[in-house]
């Protein structure tokens, strides 16, 4: 099928190494000013099919590992050269405060650099077949081979780094990718495709389709040529993907109502400062954002004062102001939902220790006390700048409260007691337990992912490469 080619200044998709025009476009607006930032092509079914077919063709003519390394390394360098432009774009299309957007770009460069390094480390192993009855005279080699076509579906909240956590390892492992970014933040993905094109990635290895998850995500997930779906987003969409993917491999990075324990022996001012930054930074719109804070009853009052003071020091407003700590939510509708959850908690007896109000898409950093476990602000993922303090009497109770959640991504524990820290590490049901820092800590090289409703599989380039490859057993009969 011949797709219409686009001029480079036109709304377009990136398919088989070409910029392709589409009949319809998605308008992307500045999340603070409302100004039109750009238009990106809206994919029709034929574009999704063409993107998958191009990826399938590319995956059948794999690149050498060293070439993959060079392309990924060069792409990382090019992002570094354009770091400020990327940060501005993330702040504009995502409403993320510039300081967080700059940090995201730094992390994205790390993610891509780590992925480049992984391209050189794809090892298999020999299998001692002669150690099995009937295996004498045979040599076994377990190879790690790419899965083939990877569908990468990404959320709005880290439009660069979370896209790179999928695209980087997928390419490093020798796969070809069809990327569907969030419809709210596709411009960063467009810029990224331009970078990979300039870095010399041959046609078909990275394809971009843009448009609503339903139906575009569904078409991708159901496509028989796609061998692995890597998804980051909400649990509801994750469940739908799992149900529709059939026998494909699926990696799901989903939500969390992140818990943190502050024990009586903790450094309270430090814990309060860190927890406030990670409850309210990026307006609480990240999967390990601090939400539930279990504080030992002896220090709960003092901690609440310290955290409310730390929250009051945060600057709320225009994401492009380099001083801003807390910007708008992704949409006013989302801010209204968060406001309604706060109101519901207050109507049920919760007290607002700070914040609590909404203006447009902005929600003030909000700290609640007197909450109950069945309130939405506690038992569901707020995905907004709202945290709650709950007192506990003994450490076992705190661990039970942390585990009383459908989610299990990461949790934070503040204590100076090594035995309690180790107990928490063993007993908390999460993909990550962070001692003396918040649930939000992430270094891009570490294995990252959840248990329970927080997902399946791990990201972090080394671990994602494992997910995105298969073992192929080769047996030589030498007898
Ligand atoms: P979302 O609504 O689930 O969307 C994520 C992506 O899925 C978007 O590209 C979306 O497209 C697409 N999608 C929607 N319906 C789909 C379908 N039926 N089939 C396939 N794809 C579909 O999530 P979000 O609001 O962007 O992000 C917030 C969520 O992501 C939170 O729950 C957060 O905790 C989670 N998250 C998790 C991690 C992690 O690593 N565990 C990291 C960041 C965020 P549209 O944009 O067109 O709707």
Nearest residue (by CA) to ligand 1, atom 22, is 213
Nearest-atom number in ligand 1 for the CA of 180 is 9
| Strand residues in 364-418 grouped as ranges (E) | 366-369, 386-392, 407-408, 410-414
In the chain (479 residues long), the average pLDDT of successive 10-residue segments reads 56 92 93 95 97 98 97 98 97 97 98 98 96 96 98 98 98 98 97 97 98 96 98 97 97 98 98 98 97 98 98 97 97 98 98 98 98 98 98 98 98 98 98 98 98 98 98 97
Nearest-atom number in ligand 1 for the CA of 253 is 41
Nearest residue (by CA) to ligand 1, atom 40, is 253
In the reported structure, the alpha carbon of residue 105 is separated from the centroid of ligand 1 by a whole-number distance in angstroms of 20
Nearest-atom number in ligand 1 for the CA of 211 is 47
Residue 294 and residue 424 in contact, taking contact as beta carbons nearer than 8 Å: no
In the reported structure, the alpha carbon of residue 476 is separated from the centroid of ligand 1 by a whole-number distance in angstroms of 45
Count the neighbouring beta carbons within 10 Å of the beta carbon of residue 99.
18
Q: Report H helices in 187-299.
A: 187-198, 218-222, 235-244, 268-280
Q: Kindly list the domain boundaries of the chain, sorted by start residue.
A: 13-254+454-475, 259-443
Tens of pLDDT, residue by residue over 66-119, are: 999 999 999 999 999 999 999 999 999 999 999 999 999 999 999 999 999 999
Residue 278 and residue 289 in contact, taking contact as beta carbons nearer than 8 Å: yes
pLDDT of 5 reads 56
Q: What phi and psi values does residue 146 have, to the nearest 5 degrees? A: -65, 150
Torsion angle of C-alpha atoms 351, 391, 440, 270, degrees rounded to 10: 100
In the reported structure, the alpha carbon of residue 233 is separated from the centroid of ligand 1 by a whole-number distance in angstroms of 3
Question: In terms of DSSP bridges, do strands 176-180 and 149-153 run parallel, antiparallel, or are they unpaired?
Answer: parallel
DSSP lists the bridge partners of residue 452 as 407
In the reported structure, the alpha carbon of residue 232 is separated from the centroid of ligand 1 by a whole-number distance in angstroms of 6
Nearest residue (by CA) to ligand 1, atom 10, is 213
Nearest residue (by CA) to ligand 1, atom 42, is 287
Q: Class for domain 13-254+454-475, per CATH?
A: alpha beta
CA distance linking residue 145 with residue 471, whole number of Å: 6
Residue 210 per-residue DSSP state: -
Q: Is the link from the previous residue into 453 a cis peptide, with omega within 30 of 0? A: no
In the reported structure, the alpha carbon of residue 342 is separated from the centroid of ligand 1 by a whole-number distance in angstroms of 23
pLDDT of 228 reads 98
Q: What phi and psi values does residue 283 have, to the nearest 5 degrees? A: 55, 35
Ligand 1 pocket by Cβ (under 6 Å): 153-157, 162, 180, 182-184, 212-214, 217-218, 221, 232-234, 237, 240-241, 253-256, 286-287, 381, 383, 409, 455
Mean pLDDT over all residues of the chain? Answer: 96
In the reported structure, the alpha carbon of residue 63 is separated from the centroid of ligand 1 by a whole-number distance in angstroms of 31
Nearest residue (by CA) to ligand 1, atom 17, is 213
Nearest residue (by CA) to ligand 1, atom 16, is 213
Nearest-atom number in ligand 1 for the CA of 165 is 40
Point out the residues that are catalytic.
253, 287
Question: Ligand 1: which of 42, 155, 337 to mutate, most ligand atoms within 8 Å of CB?
Answer: 155
Q: Tally helices (H) and strands (E) across the chain.
A: 15, 24
Nearest-atom number in ligand 1 for the CA of 409 is 41
Question: Ligand 1: which of 24, 213, 239, 291 to mutate, most ligand atoms within 8 Å of CB?
Answer: 213
CA distance linking residue 434 with residue 261, whole number of Å: 10
Nearest-atom number in ligand 1 for the CA of 236 is 3
In the reported structure, the alpha carbon of residue 234 is separated from the centroid of ligand 1 by a whole-number distance in angstroms of 5
pLDDT of 12 reads 84
Nearest-atom number in ligand 1 for the CA of 330 is 25
In the reported structure, the alpha carbon of residue 253 is separated from the centroid of ligand 1 by a whole-number distance in angstroms of 9
Q: Which tokens go with 247?
A: 């026998």
Burial 443-455 (b: 16+ CB within 10 A, else e): ebbeebbbebbbb
Question: Ligand 1: which of 162, 233, 333 to mutate, most ligand atoms within 8 Å of CB?
Answer: 233
Q: Which tokens go with 10?
A: 């036109």
Tens of pLDDT, residue by residue over 442-467, are: 999 999 999 999 999 999 999 999 99
Nearest residue (by CA) to ligand 1, atom 26, is 155
In the reported structure, the alpha carbon of residue 259 is separated from the centroid of ligand 1 by a whole-number distance in angstroms of 21
Q: Which residues contact 224 (CB under 8 A, 6 or more apart)?
A: none
pLDDT of 1 reads 53
DSSP lists the bridge partners of residue 179 as 152, 208
Burial 55-86 (b: 16+ CB within 10 A, else e): bbebbeebbebeebbbbbbbbbebbeeeeeeb
Q: Which residues contact 172 (CB under 8 A, 6 or more apart)?
A: 68, 69, 72, 115, 116, 118, 119, 122, 461, 465
pLDDT of 335 reads 98
Residue 75 and residue 111 in contact, taking contact as beta carbons nearer than 8 Å: no
DSSP lists the bridge partners of residue 464 as none
Nearest residue (by CA) to ligand 1, atom 13, is 213
Architecture in CATH of 259-443 = 3-Layer(aba) Sandwich (3.40)
pLDDT of 8 reads 45
């Amino acid at each position: 099928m011949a797709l219409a080619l686009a001029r480079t200044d036109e709304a377009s998709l990136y398919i088989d190494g070409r910029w392709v025009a589409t009949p319809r476009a998605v308008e992307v607006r500045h999340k603070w000013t409302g100004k039109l930032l750009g238009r990106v092509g809206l994919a029709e079914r034929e574009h999704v099919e063409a993107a998958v077919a191009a990826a399938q063709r590319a995956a059948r003519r794999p690149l050498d590992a060293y070439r993959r390394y060079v392309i990924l390394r060069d792409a990382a360098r090019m992002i570094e050269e354009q770091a400020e432009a990327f940060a501005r774009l993330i702040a504009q299309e995502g409403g993320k405060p510039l300081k967080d957007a700059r940090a995201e770009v730094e992390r994205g460069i790390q993610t891509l650099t780590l992925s480049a390094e992984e391209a050189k480390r794809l090892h298999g192993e020999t299998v001692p077949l002669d150690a099995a009855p009937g295996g004498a005279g045979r040599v076994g080699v377990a190879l790690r081979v790419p899965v083939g076509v990877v569908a990468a579906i990404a959320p709005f909240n880290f439009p660069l780094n979370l896209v790179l956590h999928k695209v980087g390892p997928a390419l490093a492992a020798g796969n070809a990718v069809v990327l569907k970014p969030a419809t709210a933040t596709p411009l960063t993905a467009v810029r990224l495709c331009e970078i990979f094109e300039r870095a010399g990635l041959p046609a078909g290895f990275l394809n971009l389709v843009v448009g609503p998850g339903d139906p575009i995500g569904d078409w991708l997930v159901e496509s028989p040529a796609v061998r692995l779906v890597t998804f980051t987003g909400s649990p509801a969409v994750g469940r739908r993907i799992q149900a529709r993917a059939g026998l494909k491999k699926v990696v799901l990075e989903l939500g969390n109502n992140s818990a943190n324990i502050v024990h009586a022996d903790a450094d309270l001012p430090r814990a309060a400062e860190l927890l406030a930054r990670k409850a309210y930074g990026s307006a609480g719109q990240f999967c390990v954002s601090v939400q539930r804070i279990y504080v030992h009853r002896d220090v709960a009052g003092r901690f609440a004062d310290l955290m409310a003071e730390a929250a009051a020091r945060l600057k709320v407003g225009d994401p492009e102001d380099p001083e801003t700590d807390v910007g708008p939510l992704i949409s006013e509708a989302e801010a209204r939902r968060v406001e309604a959850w706060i109101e519901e908690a207050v109507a049920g007896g919760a007290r607002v220790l700070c914040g609590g109000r909404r203006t447009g898409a902005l929600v003030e950093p909000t700290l609640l006390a007197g909450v109950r476990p069945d309130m939405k602000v506690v038992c569901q993922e707020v995905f907004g700048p709202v945290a709650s303090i709950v007192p506990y009497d003994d450490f076992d109770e705190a661990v039970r409260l942390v585990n009383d959640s459908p989610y299990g991504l990461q949790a934070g524990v503040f204590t100076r007691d090594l035995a309690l820290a180790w107990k928490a590490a063993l007993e908390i049901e999460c993909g990550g337990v962070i001692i003396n820092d918040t649930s939000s800590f992430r270094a891009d090289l570490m294995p990252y992912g959840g248990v329970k409703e927080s997902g399946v599989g791990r990201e972090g380039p080394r671990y994602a490469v494992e997910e995105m490859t298969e073992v192929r057993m080769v047996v030589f009969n030498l007898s």
